[in-house]
Structure 1
Amino acid sequence: MATAHEDLHSERGAVRGDRPARAIDPVIKVEDLAWLEFEKPDLDAAERFAHDFGFATAFRDGAELHLRGTLPGSQCVIVRQGRRSRFVGPAFRASDRADLERLARARGTSVRELPGHGAVVRLTDPSGVPVQVVAGTEELPELPRQAPLPLNVGRLRRVNATQRPPRAPARIERLGHVVLETPRFGRTLDWYLENLGMIVSDFLYFPGQRDRGPTMAFVRCDRGTTPADHHTLAMHLGPGRRYVHSAYQVADLDAVAAGGEFLAGRGYKRAWGIGRHIQGSQIFDYWRDPDSVMVEHFADGDMFDNTVEVGWAQMSASGLAQWGPSVTRDFLGAKPSAHVLRDLVTALRDGDNEFDVRRLVGLLKVATR
Structure 2
Amino acid sequence: MSSPWIQGLRSVALYVPDLAKAEEFYTRTWHLEVAHRADSVLYLRGSGTDAYLFALHQGGEVPQIRQVTLRARSRAALDEVAANVRKAGGKLLAPAHELNKDPAGGVGIKFQDPHGRTFQVVYGDERRVESAPQQDRPIRLTHTVLNSHAVDETQKFLQDALGFRLADRTGIMAFMNCDSDHHTIAIGITDNDALNHIAFLMPDFESVMRGGGRMKDAGFPIQWGPGRHGPGNNLFNYFIDPFGVVIEYTAEVEQIDEHYESHGPDFWKWPPGRVDQWGISPPPGATLKDAQKRVFFAPHP
Bucket of the pairwise TM-score, normalised by the shorter protein: 0.7 to 0.9
Establish whether residue 136 from structure 1 lines up as the match of residue 117 from structure 2. Answer: no
> Structure 1 runs of 4+ off > 6 angstroms?
none
Tell me what 2:89 maps to.
Answer: none
Structure 2 SS opposite 1:304: coil
Establish whether residue 186 from structure 1 lines up as the match of residue 141 from structure 2. Answer: no
Q: Are the counterparts in 1 of residues 147 and 188 from structure 2 also a CA contact under 8 Å?
A: yes
Q: Are the counterparts in 1 of residues 168 and 263 from structure 2 also a CA contact under 8 Å?
A: yes
Q: Tell me the CA shift for residue 61 of structure 1.
A: 3.3
TM-score for both structures, normalised by structure 2: 0.85
- Of the three residues 74, 89, 94, the one matched with 2:67 is 89
| CA deviation string 1:172-195 (max 9, x = no partner) | 111110001111211111011111
Q: Are the counterparts in 2 of residues 127 and 183 from structure 1 also a CA contact under 8 Å?
A: no
Establish whether residue 118 from structure 1 lines up as the match of residue 106 from structure 2. Answer: yes
Q: Tell me the CA shift for residue 334 of structure 1.
A: 5.6
C-alpha spacing 1:173/1:239, structure 2 compared with 1 (3 Å): same
Q: Are the counterparts in 2 of residues 278 and 319 from structure 1 also a CA contact under 8 Å?
A: no
Separation in 1, partners of 2:254, 2:78: 29
CA RMSD, 1 decimal:
2.5
TM-score for both structures, normalised by structure 1: 0.70
The structure that has the greater radius of gyration is 1
Separation in 2, partners of 1:99, 1:304: 22
What are structure 2's unaligned runs of at least 5 residues? 87-91, 297-301
Q: Tell me the CA shift for residue 112 of structure 1.
A: 2.0
Letter in 1 for 2:223: A
Separation in 2, partners of 1:262, 1:186: 39
Structure 2 SS opposite 1:88: strand
Separation in 1, partners of 2:206, 2:119: 34
What aligned pairs does 1:1-369 form with structure 2 within 5 A after superposition? 28-51=4-27, 52-83=29-60, 84-108=62-86, 109=92, 110-115=95-100, 117-142=105-130, 145-147=133-135, 170-205=136-171, 216-222=173-179, 228-314=180-266, 318=273, 320-323=275-278, 324-330=280-286, 333=289
Q: Are the counterparts in 2 of residues 181 and 240 from structure 1 also a CA contact under 8 Å?
A: yes
Separation in 1, partners of 2:159, 2:287: 27
Larger fraction in strand: 2
Q: Tell me the CA shift for residue 332 of structure 1.
A: 5.8
Q: Tell me the CA shift for residue 39 of structure 1.
A: 0.5
Tell me what 1:15 maps to.
Answer: none
Tell me what 1:349 maps to.
Answer: none
Instruction: Give the number of aligned pairs.
Output: 279
Tell me what 1:351 maps to.
Answer: none
Q: Tell me the CA shift for residue 301 of structure 1.
A: 1.4
Letter in 1 for 2:281: P
Q: Tell me the CA shift for residue 141 of structure 1.
A: 3.1
What are structure 1's unaligned runs of at least 5 residues? 1-21, 148-169, 206-214, 223-227, 344-369
Separation in 1, partners of 2:228, 2:36: 33
Q: Tell me the CA shift for residue 234 of structure 1.
A: 0.4
C-alpha spacing 1:43/1:142, structure 2 compared with 1 (3 Å): farther
